[in-house]
Structure 1
Amino acid sequence: MSKNTVSRRILLGGLTAAGAAGLVGCSGNGSGGPAAAPAPTGTELVGKTNLEIYAWTNGPTIDANFRKRVALFNKEFTGKYTAKINFLPYDQYWQKVQLQYAAKKPFDIYYWDVQAYAHYKKNLVFNEQPVIDTTPMVDANAYPTKLYDPWKFDGKNLFCVPENIQSMAMFYNKSHFDAAGLDYPDATWTWDKVVETAPKLQKSTGSKVTRWGLDIGSLGIWWGIQSLSWAAGSSFVDKPLEPTKFQMTDPKVVESMRFVQDMMWSKHIAPRPDERAGVAQNNGGFASGAYSMIADGTWNISSFQQMKDKWAMAPLPKYEGNSVAPYWLGGWVIPRQSAALSAAQAFATWSATKFQPQMAKDHDWIPLQNAARESQDMLKGMPEGFEAAMKDLSNARIGDIYTANMQQIFNEVYGKNFEQLLNNKLTPEDAAQKMQDAATKLLG
């Protein structure tokens, strides 16, 4: 994602409780279990041929690349399909998706995020496995097919067509390290090494810190902290797809929360929330040189490319002897009432197959296709360490949790209590207990 896009903190904020309740009133196209979308025959067209594509805006660079993609699709399918892409701000996007379903006039095709799981639960989207089975996407040598598993919501089938992948890494300012005469982070680094190194990179004028050696970045979000609990051998839930219990009070989870809180408060090697806000108000951040290291999402690569300083990336540091990164799949959802089914399937599968090398060249997203993701076109212009960070995908775990009430849990439980934890207003033990109790009630 680009510099101007919302963070995944906002992305996972999603529908409000009232919005989720409104979706319950929607109905699918018929009764019974999720319907399988008819596989394309190459001759028979289902629905209109002018396709309306919807996505949320990701800032000028990625939006422009999406438009370029649609133009290439139109050229590829001249005389058969014509596509147009529409962008909405993220919060308005999901409200509009919901309203269109309620009116029984859903978008022809729209971009996936975790909110769409509620649409699957209401039987509003097609099972796209028959379509995917006609493509190279099922070849384990060509695609990381094991990473599809969390999206097989019924245990067997994909209900969205994946096309790209994102993860987390440690980004660092090479210029700062060079000036301090320090070795760069690499795959051998631990979080203890980060804690040791950060003060050596910090700059101050009097009592005012003018440059922090570390910002917690995405460790300030629930799915970032959960990556530490994974490394320690635990997790927030027993399983990411339809969890049956929360594990917030597991001592390993509590200690991962304490570790992040301590970096900001007892150790104070990273800025506290009010200090982070001050940096942001001055248009600061990693890209401006305000931080020397940050654990953050790979969607920031395109914005970091504008930096004046030299920079690079490394796999997430080891915690308790392990490094486990989260990953997310991006892709396309096709409603069962799509008015342009054949065109929507063509666009989604083309984006996930033939378009993948161009995605690598454009560097807007990280391609799902192995050859494209590992190609010289992808690696050229990417920061040092990108290839090493991508190798960690084989051990990565899905960074979302899928259950009917999860949006409410994200908003009302995780959001509020993690904010108090990071502001040092709750101990890790108290935050864990509050989240355990409240989330368990909502899960039931």
Structure 2
Amino acid sequence: MKKGKSGWILLLVAAMLVTIAAGCSQKPGGASGSGEKVVLEFVRWSNGPALDAEEEDKIKRFNESHPNIEVQMTLLPWDETFRKIELSLATNNPVDLFYWDVPAYAWYKDGLFKNLQPYFDRDLNMDEFDANLFEPFKFDGENMYAAPENYQTLTFYYNKTLFDKAGVSYPTADWTWEDVLAAAQKLTVTEGGKTTQYGFDATALGIWWAWMALSWAQGGQLVADVHEPTEVTLNTPENKAALQFIQDMIYKHKVSPDVATKDAGGLGFQTGQIAMYVGGDWDLGSLKEITDFEWGMAPIPKWGDGRATPYFMGAYVMANNTEHPEEAWEFIKWAMTENQKTLAEQQSWIPVHNPSRDAAPTPEWAPEGYKEARLNWTADGRIGDIYSIKWREAFDKYVAPMQDEIFINGGDVEAALKKAEQEVNALMKQ
């Protein structure tokens, strides 16, 4: 899940620590080919009781089906996970496997990731995957360094009960952002000078990898290279149009609460006071518990004829110095193939294996539009990550304040974009 985004800055020192000369006692487990059981150390972060239980079940099933390998998983809070991995990779005996998130790119730059391309070429039928969506993990442009297990994406949620009450037609795959605005105006309710129901929650688009969907759909881009961008293009017509549209929904059209109003009133989709919002497919875990009203899903709206859907990938990384590369790959391969059927049935994550995803039954709790919105976005997918260490620093210093100026303060969009672009690119060129 994308909760790790808030912790980017904690790991900017990663590259410094890998020079530590540290010894470490041998991990338990025999060497490859010795006939003894090989123990693999795997570290990932906790996602809460329900998802952690699925992870533990996965490890249990793999170990039972592979008597010569034992994966020992450690679940930690997000920041502790990366501190543990960081220190481990600085030793001569690192963890064998860990779960990917953006801060780990620093360790790839230090040569600490195993090149997985030879294993992909040897053991995977890439016709069973959307290989083009894997391209961002070819950090050098040619070879895979992280092995995707699942996708996460953004989708459009709406309150069917409020739509029915207002006599508004449900969103479809053909909806544009202008359709969203028109519906939001009909779904916003004001009584006694106070808004009691909002048609849309524009504040949910207040992070770059969400609002960029509106810019990408126009043909815009933030960077030419998500790995090592040399400049960021913030002050563009596409970005300006996208951000102005979102800001206008809050301050001009008043169909969305601002951040202060939303926080003060505890407003959210689940309260029944918001008719539409864009959120992660990971929101389904809580949304499926709603009983007070009916709700549905639709694809991200178009801008004109264009559509772009941000996506992210959960993936495994193998430490370059693991003593058991074949056994570590066996676990990765199993997670990308055999276990994808179970992953699809659990419905918590979107499987990367197309046959497993296509064969999975639709869950009983699935709302209207579930399959189209959650599973049929791949042709429009755009990676919602930028890996450069400088970008993570630039985001915290300049892009986040720019977003606050636009969405919280209601400031001038073009001026905010221009200022942030100058600041970010000065940093990128250092």
Given the two structures, how large is their TM-score scaled by the length of structure 1?
0.87
- Return the offset for 1:372: 1.7
- Return the offset for 1:404: 3.3
- Return the offset for 1:201: 2.2
- Return the offset for 1:381: 4.1
Is 1:361 the counterpart of 2:345? The answer is yes
Amino acid across the alignment from 1:101: L
- Return the offset for 1:387: 2.4
6, 11, 35: which one aligns with 1:13: 6
Q: Which moved more, 1:374-383 or 1:433-442?
A: 374-383
Q: How does 1:12-31 map to 2 (within 5 A)?
A: 12-16=5-9, 19-27=11-19
Give, in whole Å, the separation in 2 of the partners of 1:426 and 1:317.
Answer: 25
Find the counterpart in structure 2 of residue 4 from structure 1: none
Q: How does 1:408-419 map to 2 (within 5 A)?
A: 408-419=393-404
Q: How does 1:169-180 map to 2 (within 5 A)?
A: 169-180=155-166
Q: How does 1:345-360 map to 2 (within 5 A)?
A: 345-360=329-344
- Return the offset for 1:147: 0.7
**Does structure 1 retain, via aligned residues, the 8 Å contact 2:103–2:387?**
no
- Return the offset for 1:354: 0.3
Find the counterpart in structure 1 of residue 131 from structure 2: 145
**Does structure 1 retain, via aligned residues, the 8 Å contact 2:234–2:420?**
yes
**Does structure 1 retain, via aligned residues, the 8 Å contact 2:222–2:233?**
yes
241, 244, 259: which one aligns with 2:245: 259
What CA RMSD, in Å, does the superposition of the two structures yield over aligned residues? Answer: 2.4
Distance 1:168 1:22, change over 3 A: closer
Q: How does 1:426-441 map to 2 (within 5 A)?
A: 426-441=411-426
Distance 1:46 1:111, change over 3 A: farther
- Return the offset for 1:124: 0.9
The count of residues paired between Structure 1 and Structure 2 equals: 418
SS of equivalent residue, structure 2 residue 308: coil
**Does structure 2 retain, via aligned residues, the 8 Å contact 1:248–1:436?**
yes
SS of equivalent residue, structure 2 residue 242: helix
**Does structure 1 retain, via aligned residues, the 8 Å contact 2:112–2:320?**
yes
Give, in whole Å, the separation in 1 of the partners of 2:100 and 2:196.
Answer: 39
- Return the offset for 1:105: 4.7
Give, in whole Å, the separation in 1 of the partners of 2:104 and 2:363.
Answer: 32
- Return the offset for 1:24: 2.9
SS of equivalent residue, structure 2 residue 153: strand
Is 1:291 the counterpart of 2:274? The answer is yes
Give, in whole Å, the separation in 1 of the partners of 2:317 and 2:20.
Answer: 14
Q: How does 1:153-232 map to 2 (within 5 A)?
A: 153-216=139-202, 218-232=204-218
118, 121, 126: which one aligns with 2:106: 118
How far does the alpha carbon of each residue in 1:299-328 deviate from its partner, in whole angstroms, 9 at most, with x for none? 212221111122221111111331111111
Distance 1:198 1:380, change over 3 A: same
Find the counterpart in structure 2 of residue 129 from structure 1: 117
**Does structure 2 retain, via aligned residues, the 8 Å contact 1:195–1:263?**
yes
**Does structure 1 retain, via aligned residues, the 8 Å contact 2:37–2:68?**
no
Amino acid across the alignment from 2:58: R
Give, in whole Å, the separation in 2 of the partners of 1:369 and 1:56.
Answer: 23
Amino acid across the alignment from 1:237: V
How far does the alpha carbon of each residue in 1:170-196 deviate from its partner, in whole angstroms, 9 at most, with x for none? 111222212222211011111111111
Q: Structure 1 stretches of 5 or more lacking a match?
A: 2-7, 30-42
**Does structure 2 retain, via aligned residues, the 8 Å contact 1:48–1:339?**
no
Give, in whole Å, the separation in 1 of the partners of 2:164 and 2:147.
Answer: 43
Distance 1:217 1:96, change over 3 A: farther
**Does structure 2 retain, via aligned residues, the 8 Å contact 1:24–1:122?**
no
Give, in whole Å, the separation in 2 of the partners of 1:83 and 1:22.
Answer: 25
Find the counterpart in structure 1 of residue 297 from structure 2: 313
57, 66, 88: which one aligns with 2:55: 66
- Return the offset for 1:205: 4.8
Is 1:94 the counterpart of 2:82? The answer is yes
Is 1:52 the counterpart of 2:35? The answer is no
Find the counterpart in structure 1 of residue 28 from structure 2: none
- Return the offset for 1:45: 6.7
Find the counterpart in structure 2 of residue 35 from structure 1: none
Distance 1:173 1:28, change over 3 A: farther
How far does the alpha carbon of each residue in 1:377-406 deviate from its partner, in whole angstroms, 9 at most, with x for none? 256543322322232211211111122312
394, 398, 406: which one aligns with 1:421: 406
